[in-house]
């Protein structure tokens, strides 16, 4: 057992990710006290009923005042605003992090509002499901998954100590930790997570718009690939709206590359270039086997295990 790493953890936002952190932090005994701040009364009621926290409030300032670790687990575009509300009440020496799926713009928003004397360390656990809300969380969510930390440019040795402490927290929660530059994170996630979601939203939209194909047929014959796309396309609309707004540049960059490759495939199909198709499909099958060999077959955000409806 790693033992207690922080006296008080405050989670701002307690949906799928926030409630999973609360569950595992309590289960592993890595924090002394858990406080949750969420503006939504129904969420606060569920958090209380589920016994996820020692205190539950709608007042962000009061929630962070005694915390030595604050984690923002709200949708991406709400993180800067939540940080602004918390800023005046943060304790000197507190570590302030987040779980947002985009790091560049979010890290800038956090750093802009941060008071002197706190350690802002943006983070992103690469783990999730397509479900949301406090009932959807579970303590094993981060087991064996990666949490990426994107520390700010900071030469202070105390900052490095804070990064080491936050890394120890995530390891105690079951995750593996990687440190990365925010811009690199956003590019990697644009191709591994954001673009696949965009494709899923698009293909499900196109199928339901197709003239002559009724929605009934889409449901009835959706086997294999399409069924998986519908699961991904059921992901939280607010969360994904925010991701595409916040990671615009990286998404547009990989989308341009993807569109070129798709056009090359279109040409190969038109001209009957069977070998070309076979070569690509062989290469991608090997990649899938590599993903399984690394034990990350369900690690992509929102590609996680289907825990049933909540
Ligand atoms: P979620 O289940 O919808 O939870 C978000 C929670 O934040 C909700 O309780 C929401 O309340 C609350 N909230 C909204 N605005 C807020 C504000 N201004 N201040 C405080 N709380 C606020 O979403 P989630 O899946 O846990 O995602 C949370 C974050 O984790 C996002 O930034 C997302 O990018 C990141 N993430 C998600 C996944 C995933 O697979 N889901 C994986 C990795 C990282 P309401 O319900 O009232 O809106």
For residue 288, the domain's CATH number is 1.10.3660.10
Total domain count for the chain?
2
- Are 144 and 191 part of one and the same domain? no
Query: H/E element holding 277?
Result: helix 274-293
Query: How much is the pTM?
Result: 0.91
Q: Does any domain span residue 308? A: no
> What range defines the domain where residue 52 resides?
6-180
In a domain, 302, yes or no: no
305 in a domain, yes or no? no
Ligand 1 atom with the smallest distance to the CA of 302 is 40
Do residue 134 and residue 206 come from a single domain? no
Residue 126 lies in a domain: yes
How does pLDDT run along the chain (310 residues), one tens digit per residue? 679 999 999 999 999 999 999 999 999 999 999 999 999 999 999 999 999 999 999 999 999 999 999 999 999 999 999 999 999 999 999 999 999 999 999 999 999 999 999 999 999 999 998 899 999 999 999 999 999 999 998 889 999 999 999 999 999 999 999 999 999 999 999 999 999 999 999 998 888 887 666 667 776 777 667 888 988 999 999 999 999 999 999 999 999 999 999 999 999 999 999 999 999 999 999 988 888 887 766 544 443 333 322 2
Please list, in sequence order, all residues whose beta carbon lies within 8 angstroms of the beta carbon of residue 268, skipping any fewer than 6 positions away. Answer: 276, 277
Distance 15 CA to ligand 1 centre (A): 5
Q: Give the chain's end-to-end CA distance (angstroms, integer).
A: 31
Ligand 1 pocket mutation pick from 16, 45, 110, 189 by most atoms within 8 angstroms of CB: 16
């Amino acid at each position: 057992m790693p033992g207690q790493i922080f006296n008080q953890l405050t989670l701002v936002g307690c949906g799928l990710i926030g409630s999973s952190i609360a569950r595992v932090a309590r289960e592993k005994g890595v924090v002394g006290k858990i406080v949750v701040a969420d503006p939504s009364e129904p969420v606060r009621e569920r958090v209380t009923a589920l016994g996820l926290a020692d205190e539950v409030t709608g007042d962000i300032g009061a929630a962070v005042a005694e915390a030595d670790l604050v984690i923002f687990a709200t949708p991406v575009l709400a993180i800067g605003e939540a940080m602004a509300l918390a800023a005046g009440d943060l304790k000197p020496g507190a570590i302030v992090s987040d779980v947002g799926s985009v790091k560049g713009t979010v890290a800038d928003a956090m750093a802009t509002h941060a008071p002197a004397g706190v350690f802002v360390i943006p983070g992103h656990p690469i783990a999730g499901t397509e479900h949301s809300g406090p009932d959807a969380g579970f303590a094993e969510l981060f087991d064996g998954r990666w949490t990426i930390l994107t520390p700010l440019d900071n030469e202070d040795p105390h900052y490095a100590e804070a990064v080491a402490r936050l890394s120890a927290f995530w390891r105690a929660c079951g995750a593996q930790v990687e440190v990365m530059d925010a811009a690199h994170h956003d590019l990697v996630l644009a191709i591994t997570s954001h673009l696949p979601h965009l494709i899923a939203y698009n293909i499900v939209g196109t199928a339901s718009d197709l003239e002559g194909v009724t929605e009934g047929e889409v449901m009835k014959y959706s086997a294999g690939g399409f069924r998986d796309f519908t699961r991904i396309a059921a992901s939280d609309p607010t969360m994904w709206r925010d991701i595409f707004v916040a990671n615009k540049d990286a998404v547009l960059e990989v989308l341009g590359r993807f569109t070129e490759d798709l056009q090359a495939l279109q040409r190969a199909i038109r001209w009957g270039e069977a070998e070309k198709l076979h070569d690509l499909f062989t290469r991608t099958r090997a990649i899938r086997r590599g993903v399984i060999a690394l034990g990350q077959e369900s690690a992509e955000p929102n590609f996680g295990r289907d825990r049933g409806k909540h």
